A and B are shown apart, each in its own frame.
Chain A
Amino acid sequence: MIEFEDVGHRYGERVVLSGVDLRLAERRVAFVGANGSGKSTLARMINGLVLPASGRVLVDGLDPARQGREVRRRVGFVFTNPDSQIVMPTAGEDVAFSLRRSGLSRRERAERAAEVLAEYGLAGYADHPAHQLSGGQKQLLALCAMLALDPAVLVCDEPTTLLDLRNKRRFAEMLTGLRQQVVMVTHDLDLLDGFDRVVVLDGGRVVADDEPGPALRHYRALVT
């Protein structure tokens, strides 16, 4: 359960979020809204990358401002640009990096990494130089690096913005099968089939919060 209690945020003088009250318990939740409407800021609050200036956030009752470590263990985060999420030279090593505090031996970590890669369509890529993967494969690798720790929640900030149509679909399919609660920021409205709830942001406020059908009608009305 992710809770936002009267959350507000500002950068300098500029108010970027205000009066956000949400209790997210659904398996598939999306944040949509125009550029600059505050989606990324709100999403980053879930794992404590941004701390709210006012109000509070709770993830399964834990406050990212005070229990950041515990929260980040529970919440995986996939960013837009795969190139800046991969920190190790090969795909296997990058996934194994996530497991560095798991208590597993080096060999067990490597084996576990290879299993996770295989599970998400990167079988045989463990020894492959990570920077030579295609954009779609890199984003799958970023996903694997998060799922290796089996988090309860997966937050994705426009994970498909830099991908072509085929890879967008593939990534969306992977997400569909996950047992994790997924919170996704996106502009790809066709990825929202099967979502339970869509939160529409505008100017830092929640302006609609509903099932995808009515929420997206509201969003479309907002932009036209």
Chain B
Amino acid sequence: MSSDLLDKLIKALTVLPGVGKKSAQRMALYLLDKNKSGAREIANSLNDALDNIQRCKSCRMLTTNDLCHVCQDETRDSLSICVVESPSDLLAIESTGGYKGKYFVLMGRLSPLDNLGPDDLGIPQLLERIDKENMKEIILALSSTVEGDATAIFIKDHVENIKVSRISYGIPIGGELEYVDSNTIARSIIGRVEINDD
């Protein structure tokens, strides 16, 4: 085996979160030496996923179909929409099992210095969907950062005749949802507070 190929694989594995050079080396040797079929499986599923996973046309979540399974599920409450910053935030809320409405994934938050405006976050698409589907409640599950707050206010300012609440209870300052355990999120969803006009 060419050691160039081995080096290339080790380097490729270090793109994974939390994987440094040492663990990448251990993984590469394990896959090639001890578990070739597992390695083949990883390679194939990765290729499949890369070729077939796209953004859901309705909520921007990652999915293999035009619509993700949440958007397709007719038993869910279609009058309530939960707005999150990232796919992992959506998964965190789903894992609590406490929320039965729909979602919208912004893939970020309003941030002038990162050049991220409303269009980049699909906010016009979100507003159109809320209007078209006559939704009755928006839950803003956004981080407790200045950008998260600006995003929440921006969305709140652009809708009318709908209840807008914000999850902030129990989420630490500067914390991102993925760092919070599911019990905390579940409690936050139940204890969500409506944002009032002032």
Co-complex (A, B): no
B interface residues with partner A (beta carbon < 8 Å)? none
